Each structure stands twice: as structure tokens, then as C-alpha cells.
Amino acid sequence: MKTLGEFIIENQNQFEYSTGELSRLLNAIRLASKAVNHEVNKAGLVDIIGATDQKNHSNEEQQKLDVYANQAFKRALINRQIVCGFASEEEDDFIAISSENDNKRNNYVVLIDPLDGSSNIDVNVSVGTIFSVYRRITPSDQPVSAADFLQKGAKQVAAGYILYGTSTILIYTTGYGVNGFTLNPALGTFYLSHPNLKFPAAGNIYSINEGNYVHFPQGIKKYIKYCQEDKNERPYTARYVGSLVSDFHRNLISGGVYLYPPTLSYPDGKLRLLYECNPIAFIAEQAGGAATEGKNRILDISPEELHQRCPLYCGDKSMVGDIDRFLKFN
Ligand code: P6P
């Protein structure tokens, strides 16, 4: 069984800038994910579940594990001088990291949702980390600026997620397909368990919070009713965990689509473009799927603000196509 470390080394020559820097970055993410996995798995046993009295940039209650996960990835990436910039759902603004020795300039910025779905922690539902990596576009002898983070999703050099579920799995892409690695907790080693992942043909799972039905766009209401009609050639089924990484991963393995449309509470959609939609969209497309905001490709959106939200329809290509058509004609 190939380990994640071996896989990274074997494939690092795929990059035009194969300085080993991206490999070191992915290894730092691997290290942090093991620390977070350890805390998530014992959350019920120590006083680490539950909320802090802090709120993050979006005025969302910060769960203690959110804070821990953010610190773990920040430490792994910043203290090891592997990136020149770091942005997170848990940080108000991006963090510029100047390299101590000028000849060792780092060229990558990382954007992360350190613990997506954290409201599920106290009810023991799977949560995940989502990360997105870009090569900086500003001169390397200057501190990073917002422009380095506000790049189109199509410019990502890597993206992935870690799902802390019944097993802990790390999924990532660097633009050469999608591969999954499952953690052997006894050894603390990730092993290649899902090589060259692709969405199954003809998915039939739709994942959406129907509690918001009355506020959905007409096309989404029509799509949901279409899925529920009994004359369909493929009987659809509804599955919704309330944790994007869990729902997306199940759809990637079993075939389906995840929808988060505009709602009354989130008229621009709830999910964040930069560290949720873009990395998930990169993975979806690399696995033969699609990701749109109802009309345009997620990866083509020009970001304007670090924490901006957008609607997300992602997964099975034919199902995303159906959704876009229902939105276009209703
Ligand atoms: P709702 C978690 O807060 C999250 O960002 C995603 O992980 C998840 O899919 C979604 O929000 C759930 O939102 O409004 O259905 O509870």
C-alpha cells in the first residue's frame, strides 16, 4: 500500500515549479490533519467540544475545535515557513508571512476552512477541513497582497479536504485527477485507498436542506419536485448530513449532487467562494463532475472579497446540468 508521502514525492515532478515546495506544503497539511483528527476523535471525552465565547468574521459562533483546527493548520504552514500567505474562515483577514531569509522565498498561499460543519461536533456528525492552494501572483520580494488570494478558482494549483468520519480520509487534487488516502490511526500514516476517483455515472442522490424550500428559486423548487416524481428512469434519493465535506464525499463515491441555493438567510448562498466552493469545485471537475452557481462555472468567478459567499451546485455532471437548466427555464 502506497503512503501519501510516497505518492506526493512520486508525483511532484508534475509541476512546472517542482522545487518540492508544494510537496512540503501538502506534507504540512497531512501533519496538521493528524493533529486535528486526534482532537476530533476525542472531542466527547475532554472539555473541547462546545462553543467558545468568540465569534468569527461572519459572526458565527466559534466552536472550540474550530479554533484548535485553525491553530493547528496555521502552525503547520506558517511556523514551518512553507507559505507566504494564509487565509481562513476563522481569521478576519489574510496573514502575510515574510520569509526570514530572503533567498528562501515561498511562493504559495493557502486558504482554508479549518473545520467545516463544526456545528455538528456536539452531535457526533462527521466534520471536515477544506483547503485551497494558489501560487502567488505579486512580486516575491514583497509581502503578499489581497490579489494573491482573490484569484479565480481555475488558478488553484491544489485543493483538497480531510473528512473526519468513520475513518479519516484525505482527498486532494493538483490538477491531475483526484486521489484519496485513508489514515491508519495505529500507525499515523495515510495510505492510498481511492486512486483516481471519478463520480459514478448516472448519480441519483440529491443533497439539499429542504427546510429552506419556500425561499428557494423557482427552478430549484421545480428540480426537487422533478427528483421526487415517480416516473423517473432513475429513482432519486435524498441525503443531507448538513456537513458539506460529508455530503460531497458521499456523492463523489456513490453518485449525486449537492445544492446550496440562495435562501432568505443567505441571499447570496451560505457557502464561501474562496475556501469552500472553489476547492470543492476543483475536485468535482477533476473527478469528472461539475460545479456552478446556477449558471456560471464556480472556477470562473472573479472573487472580490475574502469571505464572499456564493450559491453552489456541485457533483454529478448530468445532474448539475439538469439544475442549471431548471434555473434557466423557470
Ligand atoms: P444548513 C456547515 O455550516 C456548512 O457550511 C456546510 O458544511 C453545510 O453543508 C451547510 O453549512 C449546512 O447549512 O443551512 O443546511 O444547516
- The residue nearest atom 12 of ligand 1, judged by CA position, is 242
Task: Name the residue ranges covered by the structural domains of the chain.
Answer: 4-194, 205-328
Q: Residues with Cβ < 8 Å from 249, sequence gap 6 or more? A: 128, 161, 163, 165, 169, 171
Instruction: Collapse the DSSP code of 263 into the 3-class scheme (helix H, G, I; strand E, B; otherwise coil) and give the result.
Output: coil
- Whether the per-residue pLDDT at 52 is higher than 90: the answer is no
pLDDT for res 268: 95
Residues found in the chain: 330
The residue nearest atom 1 of ligand 1, judged by CA position, is 242
150-159 pLDDT per residue, tens: 999 999 999 9
What pTM did the predictor assign? 0.95
Kindly report, residue by residue over 79-127, the tens digit of the pLDDT: 777 799 999 999 999 999 876 655 567 889 999 999 999 888 889 899 9
| Same fold yes or no, 4-194 and 205-328 | no
Q: Which ligand 1 atom sits nearest the alpha carbon of residue 119?
A: 3
Considering only CA atoms, which of 324, 319, 213, 316 is closest in space to residue 262? 213
User: How far is the centre of ligand 1, averaged over its atoms, from the C-alpha of 117 (Å)?
Assistant: 6
| Torsion angles phi and psi, residue 184, rounded to 5 | -90, 100
CATH architecture of 205-328: 3-Layer(aba) Sandwich (3.40)
What integer is the mean pLDDT of 286-309?
A: 98
Q: What is the Cα–Cα distance from 313 to 315, expressed in whole angstroms?
A: 7
Nearest CA to ligand 1 atom 13: 242
Ligand 1 atom with the smallest distance to the CA of 272 is: 5
Calculate how far, in angstroms, residue 74's C-alpha sits from the geometric centre of ligand 1.
23
Average pLDDT, the chain: 92
Residue nearest to atom 9 of ligand 1 (CA): 244
**Level-2 CATH architecture, domain 4-194:** 2-Layer Sandwich (3.30)
pLDDT in tens, 169-182: 999 999 999 999 99
Quote the pLDDT of residue 101. Answer: 56
For 260, other C-beta atoms within 10 Å of its C-beta total 24
